[in-house]
Amino acid sequence: MAASSTFAQLVIGPPGSGKTTYCKSMSNFLESLGRKVIVVNIDPANDDLCYKAAVDVSELITVEDAMQHMHLGPNGALVYCIEYLLQNIDWLMQKLSKYRDHYIIFDCPGQVELYTHHESVRNLVSHLEGAGFRLCAVHLVDSHYCSDPGKFISTLLLSLSAMLHLGLPHVNLLSKMDVMHLYKDRLLFGIDYYTDVLDLQYLLEALDEDPFSKKYRKLNAALVSLVEDFSLVTFLPLNSKDQKSLLKVRSAVDKASGWVYGQGEERSVQQMLACAVGAETEQSRIGDLRDSLMAEDGND
């Protein structure tokens, strides 16, 4: 790892997708491997942190402040807060300068416009990269969207838009896999269909069964074609309560950002899982999840 670089994750995604829970779980997991980690909260609307933030934007501004003093609604106030943070970027950089030897996890706001077309987060990324930060975007979306073809297409478009807009190494996660058995009966395809984003024509056929959606088949076909033409979006399943799942995510994020972990950390991984970290097979990637869903079927 280059001495001049500070590696970091930018954790993004819609409200309720599990970003804060992921930040806590991943930071604890990395610390257990011997990595020096801090979590930085840059969500001015997050007033219920389940982790100890080394840096918290609420010390600078909160959504409530913006709503009260600028007479804005919640969404406008959140955008204002991020722009205010950019205007006071020296405050953030001074706080972060104390942790240049740490691995940093940024817990970001849940307003998706910030990652799809608004310039504020992209400008923040530019500031951080200019200061020597090596960033990887970790995009969480709730796995329950897999149970509805229309919502899953929306998820694909959201992920693709964020990837293109931010221009960062990017890892997409289907979060809350530990509760996926609750809606397994509504899944039209196997788990690997959604993680690998296989032939999306099957989704169009499923949408045709809905008279309302069938009216917009040409639009849906165009959207599906857009996702397939770029061929960028795939997902990793995430269960924040499972160390094997966190390990697979850690490996993907480290590979995307170029992190080279020390021998001590690798030994910790091998001791924890009693196996070497090597090439990932389809069975190792989604096999545990598939087995757990089958087990749930057997208990019904």
Q: What is the pTM of this model?
A: 0.88
Q: Are 256 and 136 in contact (CB under 8 A)?
A: yes
138-191 confidence digits (pLDDT tens):
999 999 999 999 999 999 999 999 999 999 999 999 999 999 888 888 999 999
Nearest CA to 204 out of 229, 222, 179 is that of 222
pLDDT 10s per residue in the chain (300 long)? 344 689 999 999 999 999 999 999 999 999 999 999 999 999 999 888 899 999 999 999 999 999 999 999 999 999 999 999 999 999 999 999 999 899 999 999 999 999 999 999 999 999 999 999 999 999 999 999 999 999 999 999 999 999 999 999 999 999 999 998 888 889 999 999 999 999 999 999 998 888 888 888 899 999 999 999 999 999 999 999 999 999 999 999 999 999 876 656 766 776 666 543 444 555 555 556 655 565 555 555
Going from the C-alpha of 28 to that of each of 33, 98, 107, 201, the distances in angstroms are 9, 20, 14, 40
Q: What angle do CA 113, 117, 120 make, to 5 degrees?
A: 80
Q: Are 259 and 7 in contact (CB under 8 A)?
A: yes
Write out the two tokens for 294.
């089958």
23-50 confidence digits (pLDDT tens):
999 999 999 999 999 999 999 998 888 9
For residues 32 and 90, what is the distance between their CA atoms, to the nearest angstrom? Answer: 32
Q: What pLDDT does residue 250 have?
A: 95
Nearest CA to 101 out of 37, 41, 158, 164 is that of 37
